[in-house]
Amino acid sequence: MSSASYPANTVDQALHLLQTVFGYPAFRSQQGQIVEHVVHGGDALVLMPTGGGKSLCYQIPALIRHGVGIVVSPLIALMQDQVDALAEVGVRAAFLNSTQSFDEILAVEKKMREGELDLVYIAPERLLTQRCLELLEIVDIALFAIDEAHCVSQWGHDFRPEYIRLSILHERFPQVPRIALTATADQQTRDEIIHRLQLENALQFVSSFDRPNIRYQIVEKANGRKQLLDFIQAQHAGDAGIVYCLSRKKVEETADFLNENGITSLPYHAGMDMTERSRNQARFLREDGIVMCATIAFGMGIDKPDVRFVAHLDLPKSVEGYYQETGRAGRDGASANAWMAYGLQDVVQQRRMIDESEANDTYKRVQGAKLDAMLSLCETLNCRRVQLLDYFGQPSEPCGNCDTCLSPPTSFDGTIAAQKILSTIYRVDQRFAAGHIVDVLRGIDTERVQQWRHEQLSTYGIGSDKSEAEWRAILRQLIALGLIAVDYENYSALKLTEASRAVLRGETKVQLRQYKKAEKAVKHKRQSAKDYAETELGAEEQALFDKLRWWRVETARTHNVPAYVIFPDATLREIARNAPQTLTALRAISGVGDKKLDSYGTEILQLIAELHAA
């Protein structure tokens, strides 16, 4: 495909490329405006949710403008898949990173010099070398796309020091337009992206952060792994999903547990051998129905569109991290779940990680504020989506598709309960952890209670009306509210804070979320909500869809690419619904461009004919 000269009316040319190359009928949201702005040489900062079509915002301008589009990406492990996906639609793409041999690098550099490539993905470490910068000086460059731009921010959740040096692109190539893209960034991170990359004059395009097809659910943690298993078996049997854990050990144990219970699961964390890690990632991308258990080392840039759920067995560090991770579900627009089990230990653990960090006080303060926002999302009595979108500065209405909308929680005046806990902490001299405090409150005559004669305290047994789980839920909320601190250097002893004094004196009321016992997940049909496609198919349609998926698996194996690179589920589902009889009718399906029609059209029509003849 050649980078032809672009006419004054770039909108028509951009739309033509969108339809003929990528197979989509029309631009979504702000895509068209972004493409036109960049084609005409403007800089842009693009915030668009995962699955919103960010890549088209630089791919199409790179095809229209003279020269090669340079995509700066930290996703070395995924570059081959990205290049393969572009090859499938007829775009000439390549990459430069540390996985290549010297001869492979020379071959790509030669094609760049000779104008034989439309897009080249380059790792930031490679781009910043003298050799690469000198190459770019003599190459005709269409644009620079800085993907995963939040990596530039030291306050963000995926900080990469190399990204800070990318301001060199503006300094050495001032005439080349730059487009920085990310799926999530609060205002502080956004400001730092602009400052670090010298994008002060760039237009900002901020799309809606709402992903209406994702159902958010946060449950009281009882037995996290068992709850996870119940959730998967009831709602996502046979589906692809991601389970996030905080530690490498927990990743391994959770993957083993799921496998033992008949759910195909693979581990992924930074401590694994790189070959095994890459193999597991490739299997997840290429095979259907695999559950990946991972630390946050996994996921950025994962384009697998049919991930039906993302689960968290540990509390994320920030709302940005949570949003980014849950956003890997339902990229195809079909229904998906974001599920989390959350308990007292999560709050204690995250607070400890911040307090014990070797970072400076400013960093700790910022991370503490981010954790507070995450805790607020977990403890909210209102719509989770409203709370989530509000964090990113987007007002919204209750969604009807999260747990707090579907089963509204109740609140109660927890002032007396809070006073009981705070008084007990004070009377044991602020020297004991949560378990002992709860035992004293409930009047449990343990060996430790006897050893310290705490059965003689006035608060002993005053909380016998509540279960251990109820008191732990109240404790968790009081820690989240900043009324109790945890002394990690002294065996996690609970301490009173300055704010607790007003509660003890009755000057401040405390409103708490009523404890709700963990319920076993129940099987239900996939939910439907506005703005995304209903996934239910009729019997004949389902039979064709299944047949198409088997064909896709074999085709992907032959081409050595992930199945979704051939066609995503959404496209196969639309083919199954419409059962096109001609190449012209098949070409009208979203996701079927000219190259894919040439490559697979006849085979697909034959499959449809065979099924109808049976």
Sign of the torsion angle spanned by Cα atoms 530, 150, 127, 75: negative
CA atoms of 557 and 564, how far apart (whole Å): 11
- Per the CATH hierarchy, to which homologous superfamily does domain 10-206 belong? P-loop containing nucleotide triphosphate hydrolases (3.40.50.300)
Residue 399 class from Cβ within 10 Å (0-12 exposed, 13-18 middle, 19+ buried)? buried
The number of angstroms, rounded, from the C-alpha of 470 to the middle of its chain's C-alpha atoms is 31
Kindly list the distances between the CA atom of residue 612 and the CA atoms of 288, 545, 547, in Å, as whole numbers in the listed order.
Answer: 26, 13, 12
Phi and psi at residue 204, in whole multiples of 5°? -105, 130
pLDDT greater than 60 at residue 570: yes
For residues 309-316, average pLDDT:
97
Kindly indicate the confidence band of residue 154, based on its pLDDT and cuts at 50, 70 and 90.
Answer: low
Token digits of residue 508:
């401040």
Q: Identify the architecture of domain 411-513 in CATH.
A: Orthogonal Bundle (1.10)
The ranges assigned to domains in the chain are: 10-206, 214-406, 411-513, 539-613
Per-residue pLDDT reduced to its tens digit, 34-60 = 999 999 999 999 999 888 899 999 999
Confidence of residue 289 (pLDDT cuts 50, 70, 90): very high
CA–CA distance, 34 with 45 (Å, rounded to integer): 9
Q: What pLDDT does residue 8 have?
A: 53
CATH number of 539-613: 1.10.150.80
Say which CATH topology domain 214-406 has.
Answer: Rossmann fold (3.40.50)
pLDDT band of residue 532 (cuts 50, 70, 90) is very low
Question: What's the rounded mean pLDDT across residues 257-266?
Answer: 98
Please report how the helices 468-480 and 344-355 are oriented relative to each other, as an axis angle in degrees rounded to 10.
30
Predicted local confidence at residue 361, as pLDDT: 87
Take residue 445 and report the two structure tokens written for it: 């005559």
- Please give the mean pLDDT across all residues of the chain: 91
pLDDT band at 534 (very low <50, low <70, confident <90, very high): very low
With 60 as the cut, is the pLDDT of residue 232 above it? yes
Across 329-350, average pLDDT: 91
* Average pLDDT rounded to a whole number, residues 233-255: 96
The secondary structure element, H or E, covering residue 79 is helix 79-88
pLDDT tops 60 at residue 403? yes
Structure tokens at 584: 């012209």
- The structure tokens 């196969």 sit at 572
- The Cα–Cα gap between 559 and 453 comes to 72
Collapsed DSSP state (helix, strand, coil) of residue 312: strand
Tell me the DSSP string of 472-525: HHHHHHHHHTTSEEEEGGGTTEEEE-TTHHHHHTTSS--EEEPP---------P
Interval 461-499: pLDDT, tens: 999 999 999 999 999 999 988 899 988 778 889 999 999
pLDDT of the residue at 29: 87
Per-residue pLDDT at 535:
56
**Tens of pLDDT, residues 70-79:** 999 988 878 9
Say what the pLDDT of residue 529 is. 35
Burial 290-317 (b: 16+ CB within 10 A, else e): bbbbbbbebbbbbbbbbbbbbbbbbbbb
Instruction: Check for a shared fold between 214-406 and 539-613.
Output: no
Strand order, beta sheet including 240-244: 214-220, 336-342, 307-312, 240-244, 291-294, 265-268
Lowest-confidence pick of 219-233, 374-388, 427-441, 485-499: 485-499
How high is the pLDDT of residue 523? 61
